[in-house]
Structure 1
């Protein structure tokens, strides 16, 4: 029996409205069937996570001969969560199922003879918004020890015991590990500090940066500071409260906001709260059950056996639901959240947010928004943040009561695979559409779109076809030298990736030094020092130009995103503002911008883009002076050289 069944969640005809919806909205779902026999039953199977299923009969919408379309209207719940659905079709004595495709990317599905993967509908809280100022920004991530030393003579503030201070700023970072246990026994420091950040604020302003995200800056034994020693003290190697306040004040005067890293799932073992080595005058939880901090931690056999982050004994986990811990971090009059926001911080990035209980995150958000409704809360999430399951629990990061933004690692992974030729334009498009479909619109435009970070290899290293890191030891990784050809290819790809990053919905985040050609494998090699005086000036000029264009044209920040071309390796999309409103109904200047990318290395490609529904006349090349393209018969003809991208805008 020949059966043709079709549903496409990306087409409004089959799912209206498209994408995520707010509570209490109505959604119309349609299914088309072509078969000689009459289907005797057609059901939508629908359920919410944690709730019983419904089987809803579908009614005929329209039909022509053997081809008929059925539809059903559903009222989504009044409480936010995820809905899942697929279709069940009975024909004669056989049952067919139609569900999500094998890759579970949404869009066109598949016919199955068994229970299929489901389609997802994200249902978010009514009136969900994220701060508009943040959507308009470009971020810059700073690992303080490696960015800049503010003292001309290179003075290193308050060196720690058992640490290595490099005599040369351009040395290769490494950890001092015990050869027998593999544990880190000493950390390396270069001497970067907050005064150095203040010194470089004019550089960041000229670059076009409006948000600085700091890796942790609170007192800790390590260089990375994810082993917090004192949540209410700036690490003495970085400065003090006064320097931080001066930084926030001067940054604000330049239109730059500060976001801090909150590491609240664990502390350091050498902290005033745990105090395993007795370095603090306080009575730590390790020292006595009478410690005011004892209830923060989970001991199996006091004091030497306790719950640790990923089994690392220098990072004891905390009980985030402990009332005294919540008071200290969130709710107290001088809580950690309130303390630093009152001193000038505009928001927080929550480290390993999947290890924080939902109640804890919601309290942080509530306190932040009470202090400053325009503050921003970002979470470290490595996957699609709408359907993340952690410790058996479906998380609710983007449903309206927790996060404003997440670190968009899927964005990085999708574009790297595309530019390296591992996926073609169509496959890339489907992965981007999957995020677009699942994320509430406000979140899709406020995701932290990174291409490098302190936890992954730098983009330039990956794009230069360096040997795979898992094939090399740490020592071998440190010795890898990119050839001239590799570097040339990597830089060309990085220009394409930064073009995509600066013109795609979301908030671009530059990991310090990416804009001047820094490279390196994962930690610690991705945490080298910024090469002041040795920057790749051509790449830096490219970044400045792209950021300036993004800051100048609203359409590149909050215009409608509409994919328009995906053939072979060539991918293109539009950003559109029509009728004087952006996607959030804010007043904005009408524009249509076109982004096209050719990641191929071998030959030029000529493409024709259908634009008659979007604009007429002439488009101006924003990347090449005095170059224009005329739209003829509704088509725009463009030639793309190998490893070339273009950004055009209507005149």
Structure 2
């Protein structure tokens, strides 16, 4: 066995408390190396005079495989909430013992320091995101483009709804009344959570350049209207998440205007990351910004005054308006200590508030239980688009990537990961799919049957198109004759299945059973204690005969989509872009 490939870390995503009693443990080996892995475990204080440390062995199961590695998993409940442990790995010829100090030929009952340690399972350290998120289906709304319900609020120069293509600087008059008017549409679809891009006073149409964090942008309405929006959502079973832009302010934020006017004599000059005076915008700003955007100066969240101001904002909108979540823009560029204090403040105001970070890369440092509940799951997004929409990944590569995604974080995190296919920052999924709606259906099927909390970008459910920003920010289509109602019904049915069958959604274990790199077909399983579902997908342009896993050959099942009883068979024949969901 290749020793260099064997890896375990006694914290983070390889050893963690899943509940106040249960530990999850993983070890990684080279792909195909180990045939069997057992956990050697015992209480660190359990010794016998003659035989030394007392340990037991428990089998570990193969939880996933990617292009390079196998991952082995087990869970256990230490009777005294503490553990010493190691791993016994066998390839059929060779057996090795792996512990914190390296490798041995046999277990040791004398050198306790050889083994890994989980010193104590403290209840307060268990990562416990809000339970309600696990069963939420989100819908992202770009408020300026969702619905114009009160024309009296229209900004100067507002153009008629859908009268022209979206631009970086045009306005169509979307507002809170427009959202309230269409909440029943969201209820009909099955939505139970809305995430709105920024609603606070700002200069632009996207509102990521905040002028006042305590005021609603006047084009959207006032605080009374917003309170009515939140209350109405709650009455209809819909949670509300707002966008917090705490990495940077807007150009017209009063504190930044003071720095522009008074330079190094400004009482706010330490609110930002200024490098020299006077401030200059060309060729690049001489102050830190989001990217190189001069209108978005970066806030100094290490400054106590800035920190107090922003934490007050975080508390205010939770306490005064009973919002249910914060999505944190450019979260990876803000210091960790700020986010720790942010979590304390928000959870004190409302314990089950969902805290979601916008991070596009491996986010484990933010997901240790002291900062965020989850991040926007862009690794999931990219893998799904590359396989189903772009054709840049075959089924085996897709399966490998899913294994990485699911082993990147603890299960507690995976269950509330924000699984999106598109957003205001990306081309729409129908455009990514070159306007092939059958590809979009397969994307929705996979998204809504995967582990995590899925989010639909407004209009994707009725097959709207749009290139990258600003093209992806078109006005929502409300004329039913211009909507794809068949796509709407398709998504609606998937959401209902997710609600009706726990194993379909977030309460079933996910496992890929078949990923053919040549035929490009896929079978994955979702299962719980009472239900097993096989998802069989043919995302290709030709008819495919797909062999069922041996364990399911000859078993009767029900086609969950059509309701038909299926006769036992060794294979399943699917037409191009067809799928089958078999319930056993």
Match of 1:592 in 2: 532
Gaps of 5+ in 2: 7-28, 40-59, 61-71, 108-112, 280-285
> 1:214-613 counterparts in 2 under 5 A?
214-275=196-257, 284-288=258-262, 293-304=268-279, 305-330=286-311, 335-342=312-319, 343-386=321-364, 396-419=365-388, 420-464=390-434, 487=435, 490-533=436-479, 534-556=482-504, 557-568=506-517, 569-578=520-529, 590-611=530-551
Question: Counterparts of 2:125 and 2:567 in 1: how far apart (Å)?
Answer: 44
* Post-superposition offset of 1:138: 0.3
Q: How far apart in 2 are the matches of 1:202 and 1:530?
A: 15
CA RMSD for the aligned pairs? 3.1
**2:398, 2:345 → 1: CA distance?**
39
> Is the Cα contact below 8 Å between 2:86 and 2:97 reproduced in 1?
no
Flag the 1:15–1:216 CA change in 2: closer, same or farther, 3 A: farther
* Contact 2:35/2:92 (8 A) holds in 1: no
Residue in 2 that maps onto 1:623: 561
Contact 1:265 1:318 in 2 (8 A): yes
In the alignment, the residues of structure 1 paired with residue 3 and residue 292 of structure 2 have an alpha-carbon distance, to the nearest angstrom, of 54
Pairwise CA distance, 1:645: 1.7
2:97, 2:106 within 8 Å by CA — same for their partners in 1?
no
For residue 497 of structure 1, report the CA deviation from its aligned partner. Answer: 0.6
Q: In 2, distance between residues paired with 1:401 and 1:249? A: 29
Please state how far the C-alpha of 1:24 moved relative to its aligned partner: 6.4
Q: Is 1:384–1:435's contact at 8 Å kept on the other side of the alignment?
A: no
Shift, 1:285, TM fit: 3.2
Question: Does the residue aligned with 1:374 lie in a helix, a strand or coil?
Answer: coil
User: Separation in 2 of the partners of 1:20 and 1:405?
Assistant: 23
Does the 8 A contact of 1:5 with 1:32 survive in 2? no
Aligned residues: 506
1:638 to 2:576 alignment = no
Give the TM-score taking structure 1 as reference length: 0.72
Larger CA deviation: 640-649 vs 356-365: 640-649
Specify the SS of the correspondent of 1:306. coil
Alignment-derived partner of residue 166 in structure 1:
159
Match in the other structure for 2:12:
none
TM-score if structure 2 supplies the norm length?
Answer: 0.80
Cα pair 1:20 1:441 within 8 Å, conserved: no
User: 1:294 Cα shift?
Assistant: 3.3
The corresponding residue for 2:65 is: none
Spell out the pairing of 1:17-36 with structure 2 (5 A cutoff): 18=72, 26=84, 28-32=86-90
Are the counterparts in 1 of residues 428 and 472 from structure 2 also a CA contact under 8 Å? yes
Match of 2:42 in 1: none
After alignment, is 296-305 or 546-555 more displaced? Answer: 296-305
Q: Per the alignment, in what secondary structure is the counterpart of residue 508 of structure 1?
A: strand
Alpha-carbon distance in structure 2 between the residues aligned to 1:20 and 1:449: 26
1:270 CA drift (Å): 0.8
Distance 1:508 1:205 in 2: 16
Structure 1 CA distance for aligned equivalents of residues 331 and 74 of structure 2: 22
**Counterparts of 1:428 and 1:546 in 2: how far apart (Å)?**
22
Q: 1:240 to 1:79 in 2, by over 3 A?
A: farther
User: Structure 1 residues 271, 595: CA separation in 2 closer, same or farther (over 3 Å shift)?
Assistant: same
C-alpha deviation, 1:58, in angstroms: 2.0
Cα distance, 1:319–1:593 mapped onto 2, change above 3 Å: same
- Asked if the contact 2:86/2:116 (under 8 Å) is kept, the reply is no
